[in-house]
Structure 1
Amino acid sequence: MIQGPSTGLRARLPEDVPVLHAELYDDVATRSRADTRPWAPIAAAGGSSPYEPQASDGAEAFFSVVDRTSGELAGEALLWGIDTHNRSAHLGMSLRPAFRGRGFGAEVVQLLCFYGFTVRGLHRLQLETLADNAPMIGAARRAGFVPEGTLRRSAWVMGEYLDEVILGLPADEWKPADWQR
């Protein structure tokens, strides 16, 4: 497990799937804001949930986020689109509603940076999020990510087009948190 003071990143377990599916996927409005693919009704059982643990081809690294105090599952995090030639990847995360607003997001972004830069030796991390997603933008900026552009009206979300922002961070600009030193 990769650990911070309050959270940890561990492998996705089969028992995580129904919880993540119920609280993150079945919330249509939230899922529509978090994924570029359209929401469709998918059962958590049967191996088709997007949270189902799968063998990786190296292009992604999926984690479950845990609250280190309680041991509870707090959400999911991932690096995706891992490009071993350019040594870059995209970062994403989603916390269960009960774990939002507690500072976990900023810590999870730092843990993903540690994994990407220190463990995997990547050169650059990037994230894309809706322009009105202040918690994610704030968490990324606290880790050193810099806004690099706006994709105007590029995301179809629940009946309207919304702007997305791109934030990036090269490895040599990442400043580990005090607790990571």
Structure 2
Amino acid sequence: MLRGEKVGLRARHDEDIPILRSELYGDVVNSSRSDGGPWRPVTPGSKDAPFVVDDKEQQTASFSVVELEGGSLIGSANLWGIDTHNRFAHIGVGLLPSSRGKGYGTDVVGVLCHYGFVVRGLQRLQIETLPDNAGMLRAAERNGFVREGVMRAAAWVLGEFMDEVLLGLLAHEWKPASTS
């Protein structure tokens, strides 16, 4: 397990999937705002369901987020679109509603930076988020990410096009916290 100050990132367990599916994916509005594709109903137990990890898939590293004090599941995190040639990846974080606003997101992004830069040897990490996602913007900027631009009308979200804020962080810019 990778550890931050408040959270740990560990492999996804089978018992995590129904919780993540219900509390993250089952919230149609939140899921539609955070996922790049359209929301669709998924049959319980489906191997095609969100949060089911394919260990052979090399372009994504998926984690379950647990609270270090108590070990309870509080969300999902991943590096996706991992490009080993250009040494680049995107960050994705989803926290359960009861875990939002407690500083976990900042810690999760920090641990993902440690994983991306130290463990994987990547050169660049990137986050794309909606401009009103204050929690993700705050978590990214607290970890040193820089707003690089706005992709105008880049996301189709619940019947309208929305802008996406693009944030980037290079390995030499990152100032690690205490992670292990």
Give unmatched runs, 5+ long, in structure 1.
none
In the alignment, the residues of structure 2 paired with residue 13 and residue 32 of structure 1 have an alpha-carbon distance, to the nearest angstrom, of 24
Identity of matched residues, %: 54
- Could you tell me which residue of structure 2 aligns to residue 46 of structure 1? 46
Letter in 1 for 2:163: D
> Deviations along 1:6-53, whole A, 9 cap, x unmatched?
100000011100000000001000000001100001123131211112
- Could you tell me which residue of structure 2 aligns to residue 102 of structure 1? 102
- Greater shift, 153-162 or 15-24, is seen at 153-162
- Could you tell me which residue of structure 2 aligns to residue 111 of structure 1? 111
Extract structure 1 runs of 4+ deviating beyond 6 A: none
> Deviations along 1:59-117, whole A, 9 cap, x unmatched?
11000000111211000000001101000100111000010000000000000000000
Count of residue pairs the alignment pairs up: 180
CA RMSD, 1 decimal: 1.1
Give unmatched runs, 5+ long, in structure 2.
none
When normalised by structure 2's length, the TM-score is 0.97
In the alignment, the residues of structure 1 paired with residue 112 and residue 153 of structure 2 have an alpha-carbon distance, to the nearest angstrom, of 28
Local SS of the residue matching 1:152 = strand
- Could you tell me which residue of structure 1 aligns to residue 7 of structure 2? 7
- Could you tell me which residue of structure 1 aligns to residue 129 of structure 2? 129
In the alignment, the residues of structure 1 paired with residue 160 and residue 46 of structure 2 have an alpha-carbon distance, to the nearest angstrom, of 32
By relative contact order (CA 8 Å, sep 6+), the higher-ranking structure is 2
Local SS of the residue matching 2:49 = coil
* Aligned 8 A contact 2:63 2:78 in 1: yes
When normalised by structure 1's length, the TM-score is 0.96
Q: State how 1:80-95 maps to structure 2 within 5 Å.
A: 80-95=80-95
Local SS of the residue matching 1:70 = coil
* Aligned 8 A contact 2:28 2:39 in 1: yes
* Aligned 8 A contact 1:145 1:167 in 2: yes
